[in-house]
């Protein structure tokens, strides 16, 4: 195939545009924010599951705490009654002895109940602390998600603008290129990872980056400038500098 040097050079310009279009598409599909947002959603889901568990635990501990308070109150009430009986002076010596004995038992029981209440209160504090942490994590994660969404939108807008500029440049350039040469370029591009034309730099194809053998280079040198060359290795259109 033959095509003027100028038309062949336009292929390199077209290739640059097509490479930009490909890169934009790739970047759009692989914006890191997509994965980051997905990871945040996962963390939010996990946190929500844990939040439910911790909320239930807090309810349970609250009931335990209330129960323990009631137990202590009951013992305190009985102790007050016993103390009242003792101070009234109306009890017989035997009753006095029994009441004093009961008071000692109640005091012991009260101390035990208070110890257990303290343990429950500590458990309550630790569960409540975890609940607060989870709530604060959720706020932080949602804020981060918001920021990432803004970053994602900005990146998309920028890439969309780049893409649409490249597409309009392409639309202007294509009609300036010889039809058959363009068709060949498109055919090669479709089967060579999006690269249809490459420069011949020294004796190296800039498409596959392989060295072209000396005999082929000599043959190329002998060809007219309007002769369209193909790389023997990658079959891409080779454009001489």
Q: What residue ranges bind Zn ion (CB under 5 A)?
A: 205, 207-208, 231, 233-234
**Shortest Å distance, C-beta 25 to Zn ion:** 23
Tell me the closest approach of the beta carbon of residue 195 to Zn ion, in angstroms: 9
Closest contact distance (angstroms) between CB of 12 and Zn ion is 14
Q: Would you state the structure tokens that stand for residue 65, as one six-digit string?
A: 């705490």
In the complex, least distance from residue 234 CB atom to Zn ion, rounded to whole angstroms: 3
Helix then strand then coil, in percent of the chain rounded to 5, is 80, 5, 15
C-beta closer to Zn ion: residue 74 or 217: 217
In angstroms, rounded to a whole number, what is the distance separating the alpha carbons of residues 66 and 71? 9
Q: Which is nearer to Zn ion, 106 or 196 (CB)?
A: 196
> Minimum Å distance from CB 206 to Zn ion?
8
Q: How far is the CB of 19 from Zn ion (least distance, A)?
A: 15
The first and second tokens of residue 1, run together, are: 């195939």
Q: How far is it, in rounded angstroms, from Cα 72 to Cα 228? A: 99
The answer to whether 36 and 148 are in contact (CB under 8 A) is yes
- Measure Cα distances from 132 to 54, 58, 80, 106, 146 in Å: 10, 11, 39, 38, 21
Phi, psi of 94 (to 5 degrees): -70, -40
Which residue shows structure tokens 């440049």? 169
Residue number with CB closer to Zn ion (25 or 202)? 202
C-beta closer to Zn ion: residue 17 or 208:
208
Closer by beta carbon to Zn ion, 130 or else 235? 235
How many other CB atoms sit within 10 Å of the CB of residue 44? Answer: 17
- Report the residue number, 188 or 234, with the smaller CB distance to Zn ion: 234
């Amino acid at each position: 195939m033959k095509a003027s040097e100028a038309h062949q050079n336009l292929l390199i310009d077209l290739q640059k545009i097509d490479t930009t279009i490909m890169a934009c598409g790739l970047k759009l599909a692989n914006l890191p924010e997509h994965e980051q947002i997905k990871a945040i959603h996962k963390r939010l889901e996990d946190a929500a599951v844990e939040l439910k568990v911790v909320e239930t635990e807090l309810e349970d501990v609250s009931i335990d705490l209330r129960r323990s308070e009631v137990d202590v109150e009951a013992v305190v009430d009985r102790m007050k009654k016993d103390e009242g009986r003792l101070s009234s002076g109306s009890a017989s010596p035997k009753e006095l002895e029994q009441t004093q004995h009961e008071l000692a038992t109640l005091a012991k029981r009260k101390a035990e109940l208070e110890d257990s209440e303290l343990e429950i209160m500590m458990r309550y504090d630790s569960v409540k602390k975890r609940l607060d942490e989870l709530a604060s994590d959720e706020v932080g994660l949602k804020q981060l998600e918001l920021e990432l969404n803004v970053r994602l939108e900005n990146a998309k807008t920028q890439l969309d603008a780049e893409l649409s500029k490249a597409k309009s440049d392409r639309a202007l350039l294509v009609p300036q290129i010889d039809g058959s040469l363009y068709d060949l370029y498109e055919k090669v591009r479709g089967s060579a990872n999006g690269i249809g034309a490459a420069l011949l730099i020294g004796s190296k194809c800039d498409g596959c980056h392989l060295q072209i053998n000396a005999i082929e280079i000599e043959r190329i040198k002998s060809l007219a400038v309007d002769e369209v060359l193909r790389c023997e290795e990658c079959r891409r259109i080779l454009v001489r500098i």
